[in-house]
Amino acid sequence: AQKVTQAQTEISVVEKEDVTLDCVYETRDTTYYLFWYKQPPSGELVFLIRRNSFDEQNEISGRYSWNFQKSTSSFNFTITASQVVDSAVYFCALSELTNSGYALNFGKGTSLLVTP
């Protein structure tokens, strides 16, 4: 069963628009961790943010913000005033303690294209 769902496969916006990437997760654990990674065309996964299940405060980092809502099992990511350099595939991931340690369960990713 898919533990992380990113329903948006592709999103295209014009530069300076705001865009929100959705992430819905599934877990029975009370302790878990959520992540967002960015994968530009070069292929390397770049860490963006980590949240634990006990910290529901939203976070803002420059043009990036994250909205964590346990009630809806969602961890959405918003880019404000998007730029061409934001074009990439963005992955949401869930980590919980299993036999696989804290191996990450990734969603299928959302491909974001920002055009000038």
Partner 1 sequence: DTGVSQDPRHKITKRGQNVTFRCDPISEHNRLYWYRQTLGQGPEFLTYFQNEAQLEKSRLLSDRFSAERPKGSFSTLEIQRTEQGDSAMYLCASSLEVKGETQYFGPGTRLLVL
Nearest CA among 38, 67, 74, 33 for reference residue 50: 33
Residue 81 region by backbone torsions, left for phi larger than 0, else alpha for psi between -120 and 50, else beta: left
Q: How many residues of this chain interact with partner 1, rule: CB under 8 A?
A: 29
The answer to whether residue 35 forms part of the interface with partner 1 (CB under 8 A) is: yes
Contact yes or no for 91/107 (Cβ under 8 A) = yes
Q: Closest approach of Cβ 15 to partner 1, in Å? A: 25
Nearest CA among 2, 12, 5 for reference residue 92: 5
The answer to whether residue 61 forms part of the interface with partner 1 (CB under 8 A) is: no
* CA 46 – CA 48 distance, rounded (Å): 6
Q: Closest approach of Cβ 52 to partner 1, in Å? A: 6
The answer to whether residue 100 forms part of the interface with partner 1 (CB under 8 A) is: yes
- Applying CB under 8 A, among 7, 60, 81, 103 the residue interacting with partner 1 is 103
* Chain contacts with partner 1 (rule: CB under 8 A): 4, 31-33, 35, 37, 42-47, 50, 52, 91, 93, 95, 97, 99-109
